[in-house]
């Protein structure tokens, strides 16, 4: 039972990473915004909302974006 949970978790993480890589390859700097928009536009399905939130986090991590910091804050910290 635990092994099945671990495999599903690994498959989910791989799906998140694959989707993040695909969005970055296709849309470059706009990938984060597209992932956030996809999360907002999904139905009330919590699993899909969570998936797109994880994709957006992965894109932000790969592109070096600080989540939650607005443009003015990033500009002042330079």
Q: Which of 3-35 are b and which e, b meaning 16 or more Cβ less than 10 Å from the residue's Cβ?
A: eeeeeeeeeeeeebeebbeebbeeeeeebbebb
Q: How many domains does the chain have?
A: 1
Domain extent at residue 28: 2-76
Average pLDDT, the chain: 86
pLDDT of residue 23: 96
pLDDT of residue 77: 62
Who has greater pLDDT, 45 or 49?
49
Confidence of residue 65 (pLDDT cuts 50, 70, 90): confident
pLDDT of residue 75: 63
pLDDT of residue 20: 97
pLDDT of residue 28: 94
């Amino acid at each position: 039972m635990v092994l099945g949970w671990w495999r599903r978790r690994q498959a989910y993480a791989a799906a998140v990473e694959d989707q993040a890589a695909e969005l970055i390859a296709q849309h470059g700097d706009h990938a984060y915004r597209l992932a956030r928009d996809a999360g907002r536009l999904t139905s009330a399905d919590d699993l899909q909302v969570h998936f797109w939130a994880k994709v957006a986090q992965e894109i932000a991590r790969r592109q070096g974006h600080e989540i939650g910091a607005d443009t003015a804050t990033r500009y002042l910290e330079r």
